[in-house]
Structure 1
Amino acid sequence: MGFKTIASTGMLALSATHFASSVVADAPTCPNDTPLSCSTSTEEASCCFNTPGGSLLLTQFWDYDPATGPSDSWTIHGLWPDNCDGTYEEFCDESREYSNITSILQDQGRTELLSYMTKYWKDYSGDDESFWEHEWNKHGTCINTIEPDCYTDYTPQEEVGDYLQKTVDLFKTLNTYKAFADAGIKPSSSKTYTLSEIHDALAAIHDDFAPYVGCDGDYLNEAWYFYYVRGNLITGQYEPSEKLTQSNCPESGIKYMPKSNGQESTCPNRR
């Protein structure tokens, strides 16, 4: 199993400058001058160029009532390809929509990944499996650089495990809870924060690019970190980028609530 070689002999595979990705056996060898995704509209889609979904978003949740995931961590929402302008495609390949993510990972021997997902990639209603299926089927199938033709000796569902692993790897580099804590922003049922304070705290872990943050009214509940990628989604070089979507949070009076075990649900819209 592995990716096809794309570049001519002598070209070196791109390594991550801002994010050290997990190396896949026989990773694609892309030309050093491969354009950064979203940097040009003339480059054709290939196993080395993400398009039309050239903006990649690592998205996180803060579900607090009822609480989802550890009390001292945000949780994974997904990894989404957007069309460089805030729009996106969805459910791009019905033939690769699956309803057995757990089995796929077990069959691939990715037990460590599965264990991590059961702790940090949580569904607010408790149905983690359906949540993972939704994220792969809606978003993962729209990433052109991990289509089956980009692999050598392709094994069915191989790209599913790679997509989920990449999502987790990126999530591990973006500790939203710690970034807030380092800036003095801590969950509180009484204190409020400004949008500027929140943006500054999170930009500090994303090369000074503030992510999109989402609110349910005054209550903070989402963060989307934007990237462009040079090369393949799995092995390419990730470059933090400016957000393409403006926050729906108010400029001030934002509440960052502690996680609790209350009965009132404050579930944000699932994309």
Structure 2
Amino acid sequence: MSDNIIRISAHIQNKFPLSKDVFSVQLRVPASQSFNFRAGQYLLLVLNDEDKRPFSIASTPAELPNIYLHIRSIDNNPFTEQILQKLTESEYIDIEGPFGNCQLSGKSPNPVVFIVGGTGFAPAKSMLEQFLEKYPDNQFSLYWGARTAEELYHADLPLLWVNQYINFDYHPVISDPDPLWSGAKGLVHQYAFQHLTSLLDTDFYLAGSIDMVKAIYLDLLKEGVSKENIHSDMLDILRAQGELI
């Protein structure tokens, strides 16, 4: 966890759709206050003192004072409905943070593999945008899983990175494809396991639902991957709840 956690009022600059159900939210923090986060961290959107919602930061520190979040609207889900209503009707919202230890701290001697689902793309985006160019000798891979192709809400961006960086490869994986989908199918981590040259001596960064991250983590352990090579803030939450050791 970060040692510079603060609570500040952020100006809601913009909210625009990235797909039919995922929105990019642009916040702007005051120039007079420092919100010093690292790529891969998350913040809390504060509805009130008893109701604070975690969201990964999708932007890089270089984009400050602007901060971008990716928020999915889920039908009949009060959690997201309340947040999106607040972001639509209000001019300001309190944020707390930054939080999280799932971050690249420097050049890794190992290949770096992101396995993400849905809006778990947000923290991967933050880290990849910061480090792809900074560490050209590191190999980075992104395996992005979704139920349908439409849920890959920012698919143009990793395709751009593929053309821009020789040290990056991208693998979209669809679990419930329509007949027109000609790409990879199935569960994203199972596809990754089959196509990676080696699971050992690889740094894995996981993001998505807590159930997804837990399942991938346990499967990686079964494959002989060291705990020290598996990174996700969801794992820290599960450990705090006593569900993992």
Q: Shared fold by TM > 0.5?
A: no
Which structure shows the bigger proportion of residues in strand conformation?
2
Please tell me the TM-score bracket, short chain as reference. Answer: under 0.3
Larger radius of gyration: 1
Higher relative contact order (CA 8 A, sep 6+): 1
TM-score, normalised via structure 2 length: 0.26
